[in-house]
Structure 1
Amino acid sequence: MPEVLLCVTPAMVSAVQALDESGAAAAHTDVRELLARLRGATQVTLADVRALASQLRLHAPAEPARWVHELVQGSQLLGGPAERAVRERDPALVKRLEKLDAARQNEEYARMVRDITNHGAAKEKLSTEIASFKASMGVGVNLLVSVATMFTAGWFVTKNSIGAGATDVLPIIGGLAAAAATLLLETWLFVIRTSRVDKEASKRDAVRQNALKRNAQQAAEYSDLSRIHDHYD
């Protein structure tokens, strides 16, 4: 990293003379090297100013300016660390950030309307249960009516077929046979309808589970959003 450069001030010139006159250069190599760098210089590094202040406190304590802030007072900054170059963003990462930010906004919106959504879901569940109850009642009533109708039809057809002098046993058997056949047919149709409803419900559940998985995946990806921003901002 480039060293900070400062203009030489009168306090620095006076401090160099005081350190030189102290005779410390003869006994200390670091003082001698420091003075060689500072004599006649028009600009100095901040590290040399710190070293000069330290040597003044050791070898020339009578010098008025013995601290860094006193030596640099009135100086101007000539150079410093280069500013960090701004890196260009990868277009793919920009799109990813936009996608994750949109997911975050959707999550916040879902959190805000959660109460309304839960109320709507409860109302929808109640409506579904009522519709299911009505459908079950309709199936039961339809089954009873169908069985009673077919029993009557079977009884009537059997009685007219065997003649007026026959006993009532055979008409009853014919009515029961017709009712049993109707019951089997209605049961078979009910099983078919139920299987279709179950398949549709399974498809809806699968779609809901996939949506939950996608939301969970987006939430996991959003956890990296701050790190990506810190790396590319």
Structure 2
Amino acid sequence: DESGAAAAHTDVRELLARLRGATQVTLADVRALASQLRLHAPAEPARWVHELVQGSQLLGGPAERAVRERDPALVKRLEKLDAARQNEEYARMVRDITNHGAAKEKLSTEIASFKASMGVGVNLLVSVATMFTAGWFVTKNSIGAGATDVLPIIGGLAAAAATLLLETWLFVIRTSRVDKEASKRDAVRQNALKRNAQQAAEYSDLSRIHDHYD
């Protein structure tokens, strides 16, 4: 169709005339020009958009991201938590050495506890035997030489029983004190673990805020 071809050539000439003196060209105009050149100049090598814009400068790109001001209090808090995180990483690196020392300390504690238990047992036996002998001797001298040996034995058993009760009572008191001290140490350790977990959670939250402000 000659009229259609003439109209198309007119469109191409108008487009070229409009773009000839322009300092800036839209991407839509470049696409239209490339399409018209491929359509109306089939004998020539095809022209594509990237070939037409080669050497040109792209304008109107994405705006630079605005830099947000950081809160000084937040910066200080992040520095503090970063130091805590580094300490935690160091503690994790030396955990094997610490665990070895803790195992050695636990073994030493168990040995000391065993020795203490043996000492309590031996002391109890010696005390009971001593008080039985003392009770037997005092009772025998109190009732005279002509009495039977039953009363001295009863006196010795009474003294031994009283000694056994006293030693048991003292042992319970000492054990209660030791258990109370152990409970305090466990409570302190658990509180320290909770604080570390809380600091780790706060560091994670503030790290996300830090990334948001970067």
TM bucket by the smaller chain?
0.7 to 0.9
Which is further off, 30-39 or 57-66?
30-39
**Percent identity over paired residues:** 100
CA–CA separation in structure 2 for the residues paired with 1:43 and 1:118 = 71
Please, which runs of 5 or more residues in structure 2 have no aligned partner? none
Shift of 1:180: 0.5
Aligned to 1:200: 181
* Cα separation, partners in 2 of 1:31 and 1:105, compared to 1, 3 Å: farther
Whether contact under 8 Å (1:150, 1:175) holds in the other structure is: yes
Larger displacement relative to structure 2 (179-188 or 91-100): 91-100
- Count of aligned pairs between the two proteins: 214
> In 2, Cα distance between the equivalents of 1:152 and 1:122?
45
Superposed displacement of residue 65, structure 1: 7.5
Deviation of residue 167 (structure 1)? 1.8
CA contact (8 A) 1:22 1:60 kept: no
Measured after TM superposition, the shift of residue 37 of structure 1 is 5.8
Please state how far the C-alpha of 1:130 moved relative to its aligned partner.
Answer: 0.6
Shift of 1:221: 4.0
After superposing the two structures, state which structure 1 stretch, 140-149 or 119-128, moved more.
140-149
What secondary structure, in the 3-state scheme, does the structure 1 residue paired with 2:25 have? Answer: strand
The answer on whether the counterparts of 1:154 and 1:174 sit within 8 Å (CA) in structure 2 is yes
Please state how far the C-alpha of 1:58 moved relative to its aligned partner.
3.4
Q: CA 1:23–1:36 in 2, change beyond 3 Å: closer, same or farther?
A: farther
TM-score by length of 1: 0.75
Q: Which has the higher helix share?
A: 2
Greater shift in the superposed pair: 20-29 or 76-85: 20-29
TM-score by length of 2: 0.81
CA deviation profile, 1:99-151 (whole Å, cap 9, x unmatched): 44233322321221121111101100100001101110111111111111111
Q: Describe the shift of the 1:21–1:135 C-alpha distance in structure 2 as closer, same or farther (beyond 3 A).
A: farther
Q: 1:184: which partner in 2?
A: 165
Match of 2:31 among 50, 66, 78: 50
What is the root-mean-square deviation in Å for CA atoms of aligned residues? Answer: 3.6
Cα offset, 1:218, TM superposition: 3.5
Could you say if the C-alpha distance between residues 153 and 33 of structure 1 is closer, same or farther in structure 2, counting changes exceeding 3 Å? farther
Distance 2:44 2:21 in 1: 19
Aligned to 1:213: 194
